[in-house]
Amino acid sequence: MHVLIIEDDIPLATQIGDTIEAAGDEPDYADDEALALRLCEMNRYDIVVLDSEMPRCGVDAFCRQLTDAAGRRTPVLALAAGSLRPCDPAECGPHAFALRSVEPRELHEQLKALMTECGQGLAQLTAGELHMDLEQRSVYCGQIPVELAPISFRILELLVRACPGVVTRAQIEKQIWDDNPPESDAALRGHIHRLRQLLERPTAKQMIRTVHGVGYQLDTAH
């Protein structure tokens, strides 16, 4: 899972991030609100760890800002010195609270629990006729298996998780090439073209729609 840690206590943020990375997950860091919002605009995070004392506007309002920046409701685990009143999940997204004094390993377990509760930690993903098994690395379109290369599998996972939303080119490039994307976008277009062909064979449908100037969207409405 891709985790954004919003924390201005650098040693604490590093300790949390090291634990997340040791478990095979990917942490990003933001030590102020503006950077956190920019990162949410550029990347697609599975979950956010938030120092509840940081947002000057309060946790509720900042969760809504995160939702606006990300274009989706991302689960938030807020670190608090004491008990806090949870905001309405329907308004600012699903979240939970943990004490700042919690051990990093326990915090990571709480992250996984929140992901599972929100349905994002499941090994099975479904969108229309598409079914993905993340553990077996398998894809089925209806009852027909679809063989995908690792890069195509990662792109499709992004699209299925976002469905019916749009995944930006920057989000896909980061998933494939991390921080070293090729200068030309021809490589990404090539991967999308191959993935489209593979999905069209069993369905005879155009399942990946180009959103010009933005990115790509999985279309399961046909």
Residue 6 sits in a domain whose CATH number is: 3.40.50.2300
The closest alpha carbon to 13, from 74, 54, 73, 67, belongs to 54
Residue 63, pLDDT score = 85
Specify burial of residue 79 (Cβ count, 10 A radius: 0-12, 13-18, 19+).
buried
Q: What domain range includes position 139?
A: 124-218
Q: What is the pLDDT of residue 92?
A: 45
- Same domain membership, residue 142 and residue 106: no
Residue 122 has what pLDDT?
A: 53
Residues whose CB is less than 8 angstroms from the CB of residue 77 and which lie 6 or more positions away in sequence, other chains included: 47, 48, 49, 50, 95, 96, 97, 98, 107, 110, 111, 114
The answer on 111 and 21 residing in a single domain is: yes
**Both 13 and 103 in a single domain?**
yes
What average pLDDT does the chain have?
A: 82
Phi, psi of 45 (to 5 degrees): -95, 145
Task: Give φ, ψ of 142 to 5 degrees.
Answer: 70, -120
Q: How many angstroms separate the CA atoms of 65 and 168, rounded?
A: 19
Task: Give the tens place of pLDDT for each residue, 54-75.
Answer: 888 888 888 888 888 876 678 8
Domains: count for the chain: 2
- This model's pTM is above 0.85: no
Q: 28-42, pLDDT tens digit by residue?
A: 999 999 999 999 888
Both 96 and 182 in one domain: the answer is no
% pLDDT > 70, the chain: 87
- Whether 62 and 144 map to the same domain: the answer is no
151 shares a domain with 103: no
Find tokens 């599972």 and name the residue: 116
Q: Which helix (H) or strand (E) holds 193?
A: helix 186-203
Q: Measuring CA to CA, which residue among 43, 28, 33, 21 is closest to residue 172?
A: 43
Taking only the tens place, the pLDDT of each residue in 112-151 is: 887 777 665 556 788 888 888 877 789 998 889 999 998 9
pLDDT above 70 (res 181):
yes
Q: How confident is the model at residue 215 (pLDDT cuts 50, 70, 90)?
A: very high
Higher pLDDT pick, 183 / 5: 5
Q: Which helix (H) or strand (E) holds 97?
A: strand 95-99
Identify the residue with better confidence: 97 or 26: 26
Q: Which residues pair with 78 in a beta bridge?
A: 50, 97
pLDDT at 64: 84
The three-class DSSP label of residue 146 is coil
Contacts with 36 (C-beta within 8 Å, 6 or more apart), sequence order: 4, 6, 30, 48, 66
Given a cut of 70, whether residue 91 has pLDDT beyond it is: no
Quick one: which of 205, 112, 222 has its CA closest to 164? 222
